[in-house]
Amino acid sequence: MRRRLAAAAVAAALVGVGFVAVRDIRRGYWRTRGAHVERFTLTSRLAHRNLHEVLVIPHGGGRGHPLLVFLHGRGSKAGSNLSQPFFDALHDLGARAPVVFLPDGGDHSYWHDRANGRWGSSVLREAIPAALARSHADRRRVAIGGISMGGFGALDLARLAPSRFCAVGAHSAAIWFNGAETPAGAFDDAADFAEHDLIKLADERRTIYPPTWVDVGRGDPFARADRRIANELRTHGTKVTFQLVGGGHSGWSHRMPRYLRWYASRLEDC
């Protein structure tokens, strides 16, 4: 009888482990390498909705660690950039690993204040403070980056609050030369685009960003615009690393280890 109960307990445990493994593989990874993934809901007064946020706290806890805010792309979820290469790279950073905050930007907010919500203000005034409070990360060492729509958002938020961040990463950033090129839903109207025309604003206002990395695929439709914004920022005094990589508008999961190492180094120097 005892043997049957023990066998049943082992079987149940294995089923449970199998369930977790399947669940995590569907999320893009199968083990977190000691990191803790915390999902929480932020009731945003500025975006006028509940936002489903994700925090990744490295092994040993987040107290005193720097914070990396990483913004997702259009049509994706907050945790869509979690992958096994991400968790492996975070683990390999050891004590240098940042807390990684993955906020919810909706389907196509493009991370800026607009008619349906103050998305950019929410990140700066609600989401980042909430992530810092939950993780006990170092509020003096914060970096921001993102992919595609998130790359645009990272540059736009750093433009608005350059002293808030130690580094900025724009990975295949969704940037356009004019409003006519933008897809439906990216901006409310021509006036909204003009308020967030990153290339023009980089030239006119000459904001000096924190150290910035821009990378984009040679076949990416955003390659010309991304190169242009990198040149504009460099011309006006920002320390910019620009990198062309193979492929098109994809491949970020495999580049995530390089991203995390770069952010960790910039945060260490902050």
Show me where the domains of the chain are located.
1-30, 32-268
CATH of span 32-268: 3.40.50.1820
Condensed to tens digits (0 to 9), the pLDDT of residues 184-226 reads 999 999 999 999 999 999 988 777 899 999 999 999 999 999 9
Tokens 């040149």, residue located:
231
Instruction: Provide CB contacts within 8 A for 73, sequence distance 6+.
Output: 80, 146, 147, 148, 149, 150, 174
pLDDT at 208: 87
Condensed to tens digits (0 to 9), the pLDDT of residues 109-139 reads 999 999 999 999 999 999 999 999 999 999 9
Please give the Cα distance from 200 to 233 (Å, whole number): 11
Condensed to tens digits (0 to 9), the pLDDT of residues 66-114 reads 999 999 999 999 999 999 999 999 999 999 999 999 999 999 999 999 9
pLDDT at 8: 42
**Dihedral sign, Cα of residue 156, residue 162, residue 165, residue 171:** positive
- 2/79: higher pLDDT: 79
Condensed to tens digits (0 to 9), the pLDDT of residues 138-165 reads 999 999 999 999 999 999 999 999 999 9
Instruction: Provide CB contacts within 8 A for 154, sequence distance 6+.
Output: 69, 71, 111, 144, 145, 146, 168, 169, 170, 173
Which amino acid, residue 257?
Answer: P
The model carries a pTM of 0.90
